[in-house]
Chains A and B, each alone.
Chain A
Amino acid sequence: MRAMRLRVAILRGVVALIAFVVLWELGSESKALTGVALPWISAIPAPSDVIVVWAALVHDPGYWQSCYLSVLRVSVGFLAAMVVGIPFGLALAVNRTAYGVLFPTFEVLRPIPPLAWVPLSIIFWPTQELSITFVTFLGAFFTMVINVVGGAKSIDIRYFHAARSMGSSSFDIFRRIILPGVLPSIAVGAAVGMGITWNVVVAAEMISGGASQATGAGGGLGFFIWNSYVGGSYPQIVVGMISIGIAGYLSSELLRRLGDRITPWLRRR
Chain B
Amino acid sequence: MATTGEVVVSGVGKSYGLAQFEKDVVKDCSLTIESGKLTVMVGPSGCGKSTLIRLLAGFERPTTGTITIDGKEVNGPGRDRLVVFQETALFPWMSTYENIMYGPSACGEDNAETRAQAEYLLEKVGLNGFRDKFPSQLSGGMQRRAELARAMINNPAIMILDEPFRGLDAMTKSLMWDYYARLFEENRRTNFFVTTDIDEAIYLADRLIVMTNIPTRVHTVLEVDLPRPRQIKDVFENDRANELKMKALSLLHEEAMKSFAGGSKAAADFVDAYSRRVTPR
Contact = CB atoms under 8 A, between A and B. Distances in A.
A166 B93 contact: no
A176 B101 CA distance: 12
B92 interface: yes
A165 B107 contact: no
Contacts of A177: 91
Contacts of B92: 265
A169 B108 CA distance: 11
A161 B83 CA distance: 9
B93 A168 contact: no
Interface stretch (B73-81, B168-176, B192-200, B235-243): B73-81
Nearest to B59: A161
Nearest to A181: B93
A267 to B, nearest CB: 9
B59 to A, nearest CB: 5
Q: Is the interface of B mostly helix, strand, loop or mixed?
A: loop
A166 B85 contact: no
Given A264-B134, A265-B92, A265-B93, A165 B77 contact: yes
Nearest to A162: B89
A59 interface: no
B108 to A, nearest CB: 9
Contacts of A181: 93
B106 A166 contact: yes
B57 interface: yes
A177 B150 CA distance: 16
B204 to A, nearest CB: 22
A107 interface: no
A89 B150 CA distance: 31
B97 interface: no
Q: Is the interface of A mostly helix, strand, loop or mixed?
A: helix
A159 B91 contact: yes
A169 B102 CA distance: 12
Given A167-B106, A169-B106, A162 B136 contact: no
A165 B134 contact: no
A181 B85 CA distance: 19
Nearest to B88: A158
Contacts of A164: 59, 77
A162 B93 contact: no
Most chain B beta-carbon contacts within 10 A, residue among A156, A167, A176:
A167
A163 to B, nearest CB: 7
Nearest to B58: A165
A172 interface: yes
Interface residues of B, number: 26
Contacts of A159: 89, 91
Given A166-B79, A167-B79, A265 B102 contact: no
Interface string A136-180: 000000000000000000001011011111111100100011001
Interface in B79-116: 79, 81-83, 85, 87, 89, 91-94, 102-103, 106-107
A166 B59 contact: no
A168 B102 CA distance: 9
Contact of A268 (B87, B137, B150): B137
Contacts of B78: 165, 167
Interface in A66-103: none
A167 B107 contact: yes
Most chain B beta-carbon contacts within 10 A, residue among A162, A176, A265, A269:
A162
Interface in A2-59: none
A183 interface: yes
A163 B93 contact: no
A264 B136 CA distance: 11
A167 B154 contact: yes
Given A180-B93, A183-B93, A163 B137 contact: no
Interface in A235-269: 263-266, 268-269
B117 to A, nearest CB: 14
Nearest to B85: A158
Contact of B83 (A162, A264, A265): A162
Interface of B: 57-59, 77-79, 81-83, 85, 87, 89, 91-94, 102-103, 106-107, 134-137, 150, 154
Interface of A: 156, 158-159, 161-169, 172, 176-177, 180-181, 183, 263-266, 268-269
Given A158-B87, A159-B89, A176-B102, 12 more contacts: A156-B89, A162-B83, A165-B79, A165-B82, A165-B83, A167-B79, A172-B106, A177-B91, A180-B93, A183-B93, A264-B134, A268-B137
30 contacts: A156-B89, A161-B77, A161-B85, A162-B83, A162-B89, A162-B91, A163-B102, A163-B106, A164-B59, A164-B77, A165-B57, A165-B77, A165-B79, A166-B79, A166-B103, A166-B107, A166-B154, A167-B78, A167-B107, A168-B106, A172-B106, A176-B91, A176-B94, A176-B102, A176-B106, A265-B92, A268-B134, A268-B136, A269-B136, A269-B137
Closest 9 CB pairs of A and B: A166-B103, A180-B93, A158-B89, A265-B134, A165-B77, A168-B106, A167-B107, A164-B77, A167-B79
